[in-house]
Amino acid sequence: MNSLKEKIQAYIDDIQATSIENFQDKAANIEMFRVKYLGKKGIISELFEQFKAVPNEEKKDLGKALNLLKAAATEKIEEFKAFVEEHQVQDRTDDLTMPTDFSELGSRHVLSVVMNEIIDIFSRIGFTVADGPEIEDDYHVFTALNFALDHPARDMQDTFFVEKDPEVNKPTDVLLRTHTSGVQVRVMERQAPPIRVIMPGRVFRNEAISARAHCIFHQVEGLYVDKKVSFADLKQTLLYFAKEMFGEQTQVRLRPSYFPFTEPSAEMDISCNICGGKGCNICKGTGWLEILGCGMVDPNVLKACGIDPNEYTGFAFGMGVERMAMLKYQIRDLRLYFENDLRFLKQFEAIV
């Protein structure tokens, strides 16, 4: 006899073989299991329908089997529920083998990258790094560097003075350095030649902030003092620097200029690294880009620092780090450096 009885037995076997451990989402699967067997339109109520049509003499036997099936299903569900309760903690639906969220790593600011590159280039030819205070005095920033007493750079327009004398309401000589040249003086004061140093650092000028000017920026300055240091040494050193920084094909030219602390003084241009010297809107059609100021250390400066200008000569140069980065990475607006906008900063993640 096929039967209903066999069918019922097959269901019972099936139920008993079902293991909750194979269920992915346990709660949902238990409910599906319940609906399948014990739901209103489930297997068991369907079987009870068929049972009605069964001849009376079979009813007793089949009725028993059906009740066993029902009991097996109910029992299984109890078993499932007990399992879930017992494994509540281990049985989370989130995947504990997934890697955690990585905390984002920061990257170096483009100004640090460029500054380090400049330092690297000069260290390869024997320059060491010297540091000095950002809050300086008038003597180291101006007087020892041969600035005349009425030089306009001393003016309030350019220099941030840290204090004012309350009596006369005039600036005292404590100020934020307007260039890193003060470090030259400090190095020469404490060290006898030969001196070969570069001086990277932050400087301050009282300027309105725009795309082309900022009140804070960075410089790297260099100083070389020894016997028989010549203008040719200066030019070769800077040519080496330009080629390392902007590529082997880079050419340089020096134009006469004026700084109180160097004589003669010059400004150095490099051939435009964008158009290769043909003329473009970056070099304003000239084919040249100005990158730094330089010159032979004025004998008055050597004297002020206790170095005999009859025995020693020296050269010095100074460049703006922001400008170097602008030329190298074609950054058009100085303000981007200080805004900490991640969309800007992230563009330099790959360079270290």
Distance CA(252)–CA(54), nearest Å, equals 108
Q: Of the two residues 181 and 237, which places its CB atom closer to ligand PHE in the complex? A: 181
- Shortest Å, Cβ 294 to ligand PHE: 5
The two most distant CA atoms of the chain are separated, in Å, by: 134
Q: Of the two residues 12 and 316, which places its CB atom closer to ligand PHE in the complex? A: 316
Name the residue number minimizing CB distance to ligand PHE. Answer: 318
Give 266-272's long-range contacts (Cβ < 8 A, gap of 24+). Answer: 266/293, 266/294, 266/295, 267/292, 267/293, 267/294, 268/238, 268/242, 268/292, 268/293, 268/294, 268/317, 270/242, 270/246
Q: Of the two residues 33 and 259, which places its CB atom closer to ligand PHE in the complex? A: 259
Q: Of the two residues 193 and 314, which places its CB atom closer to ligand PHE in the complex? A: 314
Distance CA(265)–CA(281), nearest Å, equals 28
Q: Of the two residues 193 and 295, which places its CB atom closer to ligand PHE in the complex? A: 295
- Shortest Å, Cβ 145 to ligand PHE: 8
- Residue 128, classed as helix, strand or coil, is strand
**Residue 116, token pair as written in the block:** 């380090």
- Shortest Å, Cβ 315 to ligand PHE: 8
Phi, psi of 215 (to 5 degrees): -85, -15
Q: How many CB atoms lie within 10 A of CB 303?
A: 14
- Shortest Å, Cβ 108 to ligand PHE: 24
Give CA angle at 270 (118, 312), nearest 5°.
65
- Shortest Å, Cβ 149 to ligand PHE: 19
- Shortest Å, Cβ 324 to ligand PHE: 13
Q: Of the two residues 259 and 337, which places its CB atom closer to ligand PHE in the complex? A: 259
For residue 132, give the nearest of 176, 93, 169 by alpha carbon.
Answer: 176
- Shortest Å, Cβ 284 to ligand PHE: 20
Q: Of the two residues 159 and 181, which places its CB atom closer to ligand PHE in the complex? A: 181
Buried (b) or exposed (e) across 187-215, using 16+ Cβ within 10 A?
Answer: bbeeeebebbbbbbbebbbeeeeeeeebe
Q: Of the two residues 76 and 218, which places its CB atom closer to ligand PHE in the complex? A: 218
For residue 273, give the nearest of 297, 298, 243, 294 by alpha carbon.
Answer: 243
For residue 9, give the nearest of 72, 55, 75, 76 by alpha carbon.
Answer: 72
- What residues make contact with ligand PHE under the rule CB under 6 A? 179, 181, 221, 259, 262, 293-295, 316-318
Please report the sign of the dihedral spanned by the C-alpha atoms of residue 70, residue 75, residue 81, residue 87: negative
- Shortest Å, Cβ 314 to ligand PHE: 10
Q: Of the two residues 246 and 317, which places its CB atom closer to ligand PHE in the complex? A: 317
278, 287 Cβ separation under 8 angstroms: yes
Distance CA(169)–CA(122), nearest Å, equals 44
- Shortest Å, Cβ 256 to ligand PHE: 13
Please report the sign of the dihedral spanned by the C-alpha atoms of residue 245, residue 248, residue 250, residue 255: positive
